[in-house]
Structure 1
Amino acid sequence: MKSLHNLADNLPLMELSQEKDVTVYGMKMDHREIEHGDIFFCVPGFTVDGHNFAEDAVKNGAAALVTDRWLNVSVPVLKVPDVRRAMALLSAVFYEHPSSDMHLIGVTGTNGKTSVTHFIEQMLAKLKINTGIIGTMYTKYNEKIIPSKNTTPESLILQQLLAEMRDADTDTVAMEVSSHSLANGRIHGTQFNTAIFTNLSQDHLDYHVTMKDYARAKSLLFAQLGSSFNRNPQAVSIINIDDEYADIMMEASAAPVITYGMTDNAMIRAENVRLTPTGSVFKFSAQGITKEVSLKLPGRFSVYNALAAAAALYVRGYEWEKLLPLLSDLTGVSGRFEPVMSNASVHVIVDYAHTPDSLQNVLETIKDLAEKKIYVVVGCGGDRDKTKRPVMAGIAERYADFVYLTSDNPRTEDPALILDEMAAGVEGSAYEVIEDRKEAIYKAVMQAGPEDVILIAGKGHETYQEIGKERFDFNDKAVAEQALKEWK
């Protein structure tokens, strides 16, 4: 518990409606969850404004409100310019700045965030370091797994999770940082030791509108390393210098920059990369050290992700001689270029690729390895960036022998209209629109011949199909496994 006045002292440009001090026992942004003594944050959302539920929160026992306007209520009101950023700062103070007690690694970028955080966790596990993960799939620490609603949790939840990790003696946390969380201030007040940039390609333009805005949002993670609440003078930015948006991240960085990539100007490099059906081999080069490294993971994207993870541990203080052997033991992440095992001679791969760049990367890898035909099952999410829909379909057509366009979390949009927009990007006739995703997967499997490859793209680890505002059980891998049992 904390004093309201002590909490308020941490908010710049704050106005308090009354001098009365109260004891705060908790914090909430949902009025239905309010308990006696909680602060209620009146967060203005895209469809719902928390200010409309202020009276309900007070009736439920709220001790104070944080608002962006004056409200006529019986409890103290803290009026601030930005409720979300105030919520992030106050929740960090309430939980006594848990991020400052651990080594926090933030990973941002369009693709690769989940793989990089998991690679970091795998390597640190080999080094006997207690590590936590926060990201798209789940929050995980001490074998405890908490399903995720967002890539980066709301600030109240984030600080609570970090506090739980700290109290469980977690040493290092590898955390995915989304552009949405950066743009709306969810990580305000969180202290990062290391920030990693993987890459940037078209996604979330429904939210950021332009690629420039999208890049600017991503760059906030690196600019934050120099903020007043990030007191660590040894913070480091790790940037993929091969990406066209690398300069924006480096210019924004308030901390020293280390670069990685496959080009000569990268400080940490993979040279002479050779892709194999089961992985890759490359010459690692950094700080005068060269060594051949083998990965069990296919694709050039896996090499980039491995370099990023290794760089994060290097700046953590580990020597290359200890880190490089660990790269050969890295294993894939669920739903990331994951093969579906079966007795059939058809090869099925499930991948989370849901952006044009990630789909192209996966298909380029498959194209290099496939001996016969390539089939793609792909859809695009509803209530999300519409501009990528024809682009995704066009990329699938370019690399595949046949494409099945299907539903992928249509949400509140009409699935048929989404598929029409995707089909506009296909120039030929080697495709079929099948709205039912299960039917599309079955059709692809039954159409394929021996040694053909089927890519089921978009959902990866997800175990649901979001239709309307409901989630229904659906698992690409499970459907593919059943279809393969029936394949002849």
Structure 2
Amino acid sequence: GIEFDVRWQGDVQRINAPLYGDFNAENLLCVLAVMLAMGQSLAEAANKVKSIKPITGRMERCGTKANELSVFVDYAHTPDALYRVLASLRKHCNKALWVVFGCGGNRDAGKRPQMGSIAEQWADRIVVTDDNPRFENNVEIAKEVLAGCSLDKAVLIQDRKQAIQHVIANAAANDCVVIAGKGHESYQEISGIQYPFNDKQVVEEALHKRFGMQ
């Protein structure tokens, strides 16, 4: 999780919270500022944020095991959001950083190669997959994303469930994995139909299959 020191009016407190990412550290500073403005001491505020809960699908860490994988599900579906997630984890990932993502159909197509380029810059292994293709051709969407990636880093696994299963099965101990784009969403939208689908559920099933854990 996040750990840093805060100094306020001569007092210094170590802040610990079960959150991840530089942007969440910034969010915590805002929370602390509000608590201090309400008259709480820095020590009281620091103690309370220890139990803060992450938002579902926002840099949410899934089932983990000591010395194995760190897997995160995040809603990042724009170039800036993907950059923030990958750049934050890059600082803490000692081994390979994997990312699984796609781009939505019938949305801003210009961001597709941009997101591919960001993944290329920050991740070690890239798996491009479907993410709500809606009424567009999913293969063509993926081609536009892959235009921003190098072929030695990126692979295409069109089926999102298979893409997630592939990464969980093949990532090495201590690798970091990001499943980006859906976060809290509970469906995959194809040709106007929303099929039940949840990234976290698929991740946990794949982790259980590999490690025997929930």
TM-score by length of 1: 0.40
What is the aligned partner in structure 1 of residue 154 from structure 2?
431
What is the aligned partner in structure 2 of residue 336 from structure 1?
58
**Per-residue deviation, 1:313:** 5.3
8 A contact 1:280–1:299 mirrored in 2: no
Matches of 2:192 and 2:32, distance apart in 1: 40
8 A contact 1:335–1:461 mirrored in 2: yes
Greater RCO, 1 or 2 (C-alpha within 8 Å, sep 6+): 2
Matches of 1:312 and 1:283, distance apart in 2: 14
What is the aligned partner in structure 1 of residue 39 from structure 2?
319
The 10-residue stretch of structure 1 (291-300 or 333-342) with the greater mean CA deviation from structure 2: 291-300
**Per-residue deviation, 1:342:** 4.8
Q: In the alignment, is residue 460 of structure 1 matched against residue 183 of structure 2?
A: yes
8 A contact 2:64–2:71 mirrored in 1: no
Give the root-mean-square deviation of aligned CA atoms.
Answer: 2.2
The 10-residue stretch of structure 1 (420-429 or 456-465) with the greater mean CA deviation from structure 2: 420-429
Give the number of the structure whose alpha-carbon radius of gyration is greater. Answer: 1
SS at the partner of 1:369? coil
**Per-residue deviation, 1:307:** 2.5
**Per-residue deviation, 1:328:** 3.0
SS at the partner of 1:375? strand
Q: In the alignment, is residue 350 of structure 1 matched against residue 70 of structure 2?
A: no
Q: Write the mapping of 1:111-122 to structure 2, written as runs, cut at 5 A.
A: none
SS at the partner of 2:120? helix
Per-residue CA deviation, residues 315-361 of structure 1 (Å, 9 max, x unaligned), is: 6xx11415454233322111111122155822221111112222122
**Equivalent of 1:374 in 97, 111, 117:** 97
Matches of 1:458 and 1:409, distance apart in 2: 9
**Equivalent of 2:163 in 429, 440, 462:** 440
The 1:387–1:406 alpha-carbon spacing in structure 2 relative to 1, beyond 3 Å, is same
Q: Write the mapping of 1:146-295 to structure 2, written as runs, cut at 5 A.
A: 278-285=1-8, 288=9, 290-295=11-16
8 A contact 1:284–1:293 mirrored in 2: no
Structure 1 unmatched ranges of 5 or more: 1-277
8 A contact 1:346–1:452 mirrored in 2: yes
8 A contact 2:102–2:128 mirrored in 1: yes
Matches of 1:388 and 1:420, distance apart in 2: 13
TM-score by length of 2: 0.86
Amino acid in the other structure paired with 1:292 = Q
Amino-acid identity (%): 37
Per-residue CA deviation, residues 104-132 of structure 1 (Å, 9 max, x unaligned), is: xxxxxxxxxxxxxxxxxxxxxxxxxxxxx
What is the aligned partner in structure 2 of residue 393 from structure 1?
116
Q: In the alignment, is residue 481 of structure 1 matched against residue 204 of structure 2?
A: yes
SS at the partner of 2:91? helix
* Structure 1 runs (4+) greater than 2 angstroms displaced: 288-293, 307-315, 322-329, 342-347, 485-488
What is the aligned partner in structure 1 of residue 193 from structure 2?
470
**Per-residue deviation, 1:312:** 4.7
Matches of 1:349 and 1:434, distance apart in 2: 19
The 1:348–1:466 alpha-carbon spacing in structure 2 relative to 1, beyond 3 Å, is same
**Per-residue deviation, 1:428:** 4.4
Matches of 1:459 and 1:377, distance apart in 2: 11
